[in-house]
Amino acid sequence: MFIGHYAPAFAIKAARPDVPLWHLFVAVQLVDFAWAGLVLAGIEKARITPRFLEASMLDLYHMPYTHALPSTILWAIGAALLYGLLVKNKTKGVAIAIGVAVLSHWVTDLLVHSKDLELWWGGPKLGFGLWASLPISQLLELGLFLGAVWLYFKSSQPKPSPKRWIGVAIVAFFVVIQLYSLVPPPKLPTIQIFAIQALFAFSLFSVLAWVLERGRELNQPSRL
């Protein structure tokens, strides 16, 4: 999954407007931030294999610390506890929302990955493998993403400003990046270069989420 990971971020934001969108953007990709770091450190292993699956060239053959289900659960609990300690908003639901966002990563990966997600450490590996079909995986990913953006847009409105179009432009940018990611690169990157590109993309997307949210405000509750 690429931008499909941000569907839970937008959906949670629609339900819990008190959590900053960019925090949710970091949370839904937290285990992939860690994955990229561990790949660069040589601790988790993956290789670039052209046409490994129709919509992915990633052979993710060893990632027990980030993508084994119990590991992702531990990342989610750790993130929720830390968030609860650090943020000024002491509502318990805010920390739980962050934990759910972190955990959503595993579920969305499960849909598209080949069997590379361990159910427990050393246990059977799961993955529904939808990346084997380019049209199905992209329809799913874009459908999830745009459906959740719609939920968020419905729960908020653009601030009155000449820059009202920025939110729509950012959403369009995400869709373009998703489609661009499917174009085979002229030269295959090493897995280390891929990990650095991923870190850059996840960070850029989080900044864009911050910009997007600044341009919107909550709908006024309707008065009966």
- The binding site for Zn ion (CB under 5 A) comprises 32, 109
* Shortest Cβ 106–Zn ion spacing (Å): 8
Q: How far is the CB of 119 from Zn ion (least distance, A)?
A: 15
CB nearer to Zn ion: give 32 or 141.
32
State the nearest-atom distance from the C-beta of 218 to Zn ion, in Å.
31
Find the DSSP H helices in the chain. 6-15, 21-28, 30-40, 69-86, 92-112, 134-155, 166-180, 191-214
> In the complex, what is the shortest distance from the CB of residue 175 to Zn ion, in angstroms, rounded to a whole number?
20
> What's the min distance (Å) between Cβ of 180 and Zn ion?
19
**How many other C-beta atoms are found inside a 10 Å radius of the C-beta of residue 45?**
14
Minimum CB separation of residue 123 from Zn ion in Å reads: 18
Place of tokens 């119990």: 70
Residue 155 or 197: the one with the smaller Cβ distance to Zn ion is 197
CA–CA separation, 138 and 131 (whole Å):
8
Indicate the residue among 15 and 119 with the shorter CB distance to Zn ion: 119
Question: For residue 58, which of 3, 133, 114, 106 has the smallest C-alpha distance?
Answer: 114
CB 28 within 8 A of CB 22: no
Work out whether strand 125-126 and strand 117-118 pair parallel, antiparallel, or are unpaired.
antiparallel
Residue 210, Cβ neighbours under 10 Å: how many?
13
Instruction: Name the residue nearer to Zn ion (CB basis): 155 or 181.
Output: 181
User: Which one, 83 or 106, has the nearer CB to Zn ion?
Assistant: 106
Whose structure tokens read 């949210």? 213
CB-nearer residue toward Zn ion: 44 or 109? 109
CB atoms within 10 A of CB 157: 14
